[in-house]
């Protein structure tokens, strides 16, 4: 299988490292400076058990790599539109695209009933460029459970989780879901297949929507958020708004909220990706985690005042700290 990974930051880097270690040799598409560093020094993964470097295949020009069978994309939602030039040359009529995203993905409304209006979600694909470039029928949905950050372009710090939940956004398409799941598992990734990828999106989003913007506002790690009674109550109310929107969209099997607020040991002391972005001055992933939920809520007639309020506070906190 010809495989490329575009956007090998923290998440894409973890997946690329495990695949390379397993001998699968995916091609990483990176900016010229990063590509040169990866080619010269390899990709290093730091974990609780130590650090190890693997050699990787890398290219700075997607056109030279050509059409692939499978393209994994690690862009954050707000980077997709600007990164499409690195994705388009890799896609042919049979290419499977696996976007490793947080929040509501641009493809979410594809295949759902007409009562929800336009299939394009402005919060994550304002111009429609992503929808126009990536055929919905070639997408496999993906929910990511990987804790990592990238202290250097070829170094990933990782907490040990490498779980991807994948599923068909539209009707089943032959054996491709099973084939991709098997391929990922053979590459050392804990890949699980689901028949209901949208429920999985909301399951993960409950935490993202509650913890990420709150962490950007407060500077708190996840355990500090749920350990403070007042902030925990805010997080629970945000989750409740998400559950209401999801229910209006036909999602019914989400967990009880107190259970969702219980943290596994791997999240103790963890900074959310949005807090990491806030501290580094990078753009916040508010469109997919906050804006898209509010947009879906408006379409479904479900108010989301708290989600919108905390999202606005996070955006303002970033602007006050980093804006010009």
Active site residues: 204
Q: Alpha-carbon torsion 305, 310, 314, 317, what sign?
A: positive
- Cα 291 to Cα 19, 286, 299, distances in angstroms: 33, 6, 12
Neighbours of 38 (CB within 10 A): 24
Query: Maximum distance among all alpha carbons in the chain?
Result: 54
Q: Which of 229, 142, 219, 218 is closest to 177 using CA atoms?
A: 142
In the sheet that holds 3-6, the strands lie side by side as 57-59, 27-29, 3-6, 70-73, 96-99
């Amino acid at each position: 299988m010809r495989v490329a990974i575009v956007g090998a930051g923290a998440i894409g880097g973890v997946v690329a490292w495990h695949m390379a270690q397993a001998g699968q040799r995916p091609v990483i598409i990176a900016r010229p400076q990063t590509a040169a560093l990866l080619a010269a020094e390899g990709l290093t993964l730091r974990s609780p058990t130590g650090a190890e470097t693997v050699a990787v295949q890398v290219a700075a020009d997607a056109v030279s790599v050509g059409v692939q069978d499978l393209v994994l994309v690690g862009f954050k939602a707000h980077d997709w539109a600007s990164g499409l030039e690195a994705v388009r040359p890799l896609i042919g009529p049979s290419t499977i695209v696996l976007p490793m995203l947080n929040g509501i993905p641009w493809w979410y409304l594809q295949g759902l009933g007409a009562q929800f209006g336009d299939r394009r979600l402005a919060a994550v694909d304002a111009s429609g460029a992503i929808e126009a470039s990536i055929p919905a029928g070639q997408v496999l949905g993906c929910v990511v459970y990987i804790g990592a950050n990238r202290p250097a372009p070829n170094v990933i710090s990782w907490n040990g989780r490498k779980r991807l939940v994948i599923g068909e956004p539209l009707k089943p398409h032959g054996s491709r879901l099973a084939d991709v799941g098997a391929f990922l598992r053979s590459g050392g990734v804990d890949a699980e297949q689901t028949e209901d990828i949208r429920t999985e999106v909301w399951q993960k989003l409950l935490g993202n929507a509650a913890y990420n913007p709150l962490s950007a506002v407060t500077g708190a790690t996840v355990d500090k958020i749920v350990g403070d009674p007042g902030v925990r109550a805010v997080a629970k109310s945000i989750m409740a708004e998400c559950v209401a929107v999801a229910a209006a969209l036909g999602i019914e099997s989400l967990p009880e909220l107190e259970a969702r607020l219980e943290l596994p040991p791997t999240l103790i002391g963890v900074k959310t990706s949005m807090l990491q972005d806030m501290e580094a001055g990078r753009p916040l992933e508010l469109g997919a985690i906050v804006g898209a939920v509010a947009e879906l809520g408006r379409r479904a007639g479900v108010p989301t005042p708290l989600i919108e309020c905390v999202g606005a506070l996070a955006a303002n906190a970033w602007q006050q700290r980093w804006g010009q």
